[in-house]
């Protein structure tokens, strides 16, 4: 048997807010734990995890899961640690960053772990998400993984994957490198995708990432502001549908200018698909309810800034960005958690945004 590969998963997801455990579809980001479990099914791979609030539970009982894609499961990671410092001596082949991308990424913590052969895999939502990793580790293979599964952690160490917005869990491709792509990069990509049949290899990762951003940029942001799920946002007689479509059109223009290629009916298809699937409470709404920092920059701010650089007008997205900044990040959200929309007059916001577009 060949040498065993070492994989580290950085970030195994925050705990879901109790109200969601009782009343609604469980949707939050616990994708790190699900990915760790899937990779650990390969006998040649040893999977270690860095955990924060769920450290005690996972150290004692491992990771337990109920998933729509793969059924139930349980596994004990090879190592469970609170900090990357504890596994400094391990020569990691892959490090998967599945931590939340807030305005202060913590990649300096990874510096001591990455050797010249380590492949980095960024499994995060949004645009511009790989930039910090690329700057920190310019010559390492960097894979970009688009997450299509919704995951939650209703209790520490217990995970659910109730649904997905695509037939695969992760779409993985090579992130752009100024050094070009080497044979080694391609074989690492193939190897990573071979770990699970629901890890799909994607050639044009830029276009796929922008297609996913069409969804996240509209649904995550508006859900966080209005406290609505995906079906409520799409209600044809409700006040939000125009904004969903407006943000998607703005995103599509920025995406095209950034080199992404999408089918002309991408927006209609995405809306249709979202209507057909069960309602989703996007991860950003979960974060609002749990009082966690929001991924405002990767899901909205980075796109607004890119649009500005490219000379593209994005009035709806820009007003949504302002709302998200006003919503704040972290604990201060908890005080304002209600089932009512945060925006006093969403219709006024739609009108205001529409007037700016006209």
d(CA 149, CA 337): 25
**Count of residues that interact with ligand KPL, criterion CB under 6 A:** 11
* CB of 140 or CB of 281, closer to ligand KPL: 281
- CB atoms inside a 10 Å sphere around CB 300: 31
* CB of 58 or CB of 151, closer to ligand KPL: 151
Stretch that binds ligand KPL, among 59-67, 84-92, 275-283, 329-337 (CB under 6 A): 275-283
* CB of 188 or CB of 227, closer to ligand KPL: 227
Answer yes or no: 212 catalytic.
yes
Choose which of 105, 282, 301, 346 interacts with ligand KPL (CB under 6 A): 282
Q: Is 280 in the site for ligand KPL (CB under 6 A)?
A: yes
C-beta of residue 154 within 8 angstroms of C-beta of residue 160: yes
Stretch that binds ligand KPL, among 1-9, 41-49, 89-97, 279-287 (CB under 6 A): 279-287
Site map 131..150 versus ligand KPL, x via CB under 6 A: ----------------xx-x
- Alpha-carbon distances, residue 132 vs 40, 97, 267 (angstroms): 27, 12, 30
Q: Is 333 in the site for ligand KPL (CB under 6 A)?
A: no
Stretch that binds ligand KPL, among 102-110, 260-268, 278-286, 328-336 (CB under 6 A): 278-286
Q: Give phi and psi for 273, each to the nearest 5.
A: -60, -45
Smallest Cα–Cα separation from 41: which of 11, 63, 68? 63
The neighbouring-strand residues paired with 5 are: 45
* CB of 158 or CB of 299, closer to ligand KPL: 299
Q: Strand order in 119-122's β-sheet?
A: 79-81, 45-50, 5-10, 94-97, 119-122, 142-147, 170-174, 199-201
Choose which of 274, 283, 314, 318 interacts with ligand KPL (CB under 6 A): 283
Q: Is 257 in the site for ligand KPL (CB under 6 A)?
A: no
Closest distance to ligand KPL from the beta carbon of 206 (Å):
18
Question: Tokens 């299509």 correspond to what residue?
Answer: 148
Q: Give phi and psi for 278, each to the nearest 5.
A: -60, 160
Smallest Cα–Cα separation from 299: which of 251, 249, 235? 251
Choose which of 7, 27, 98, 327 interacts with ligand KPL (CB under 6 A): 27
Q: Is 125 in the site for ligand KPL (CB under 6 A)?
A: yes
Q: Is 48 in the site for ligand KPL (CB under 6 A)?
A: no
Closest distance to ligand KPL from the beta carbon of 24 (Å):
12
Closest distance to ligand KPL from the beta carbon of 260 (Å):
17
CA-CA-CA-CA torsion for 90, 94, 99, 105, nearest 10 degrees? 80
d(CA 90, CA 118): 11
* CB of 66 or CB of 79, closer to ligand KPL: 66
Of residues 175-214, which lie at the interface with ligand KPL (CB under 6 A)? none
Query: Which residue intervals of 139-277 are DSSP H helices?
Result: 183-193, 205-226, 230-233, 241-257, 266-276
Catalytic residue among 100, 198, 212, 340: 212
What is the per-residue burial (b if ≥16 Cβ within 10 Å, else e) of 158-192?
bbbbbbbbbebbbbbbbbebeeeeeeebeebbeeb
| Interface residue list for ligand KPL (CB under 6 A) | 27, 125, 147-148, 150, 165, 216, 220, 280, 282-283
By annotation, the residues acting in catalysis are: 212
């Amino acid at each position: 048997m060949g040498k065993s590969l070492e994989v580290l998963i950085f970030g195994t997801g925050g705990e879901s807010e109790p109200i969601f455990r009782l009343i609604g579809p469980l949707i939050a980001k616990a994708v790190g734990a699900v990915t760790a479990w899937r990779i650990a099914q390969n006998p040649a791979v040893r999977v270690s995890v860095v955990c924060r609030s769920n450290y005690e539970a996972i150290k004692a009982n491992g990771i337990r899961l109920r998933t729509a894609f793969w059924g139930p499961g349980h596994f004990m990671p090879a190592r469970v640690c609170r900090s990357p410092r504890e596994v400094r001596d391990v020569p990691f082949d892959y490090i998967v960053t599945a931590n939340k991308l807030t305005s202060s990424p913590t990649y300096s913590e990874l510096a001591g772990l990455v050797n010249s052969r380590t492949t980095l895999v960024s499994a995060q939502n949004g645009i511009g998400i790989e930039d910090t990793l690329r700057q920190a580790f310019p010559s390492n293979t960097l894979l970009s993984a688009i997450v299509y599964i919704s995951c939650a952690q209703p209790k520490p160490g217990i995970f659910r994957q109730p649904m997905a917005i695509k037939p695969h869990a992760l779409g993985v491709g090579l992130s752009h490198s100024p050094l070009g792509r080497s044979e080694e990069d391609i074989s690492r990509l193939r190897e990573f995708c071979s770990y699970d049949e629901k890890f799909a290899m994607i050639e044009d990762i830029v276009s796929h990432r922008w297609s996913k951003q069409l969804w996240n940029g509209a649904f995550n942001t508006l859900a966080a502001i209005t406290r609505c799920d995906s079906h409520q946002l799409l209600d044809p007689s409700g006040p939000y549908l125009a904004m969903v479509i407006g943000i998607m059109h703005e995103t599509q223009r920025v995406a095209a200018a950034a080199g992404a290629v999408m089918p002309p009916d991408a927006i209609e298809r995405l809306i249709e698909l979202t209507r057909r699937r069960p309602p989703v409470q996007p991860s950003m709404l979960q974060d609002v309810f749990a009082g966690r920092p929001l991924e405002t920059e990767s899901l909205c701010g980075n796109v607004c800034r890119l649009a500005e650089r490219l000379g593209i007008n994005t009035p709806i997205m820009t007003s949504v960005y302002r709302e998200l900044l006003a919503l704040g990040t972290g604990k201060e959200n908890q005080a304002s958690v209600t089932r009512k929309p945060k925006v006093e007059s969403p219709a006024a916001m739609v009108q205001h945004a529409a007037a700016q577009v006209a």
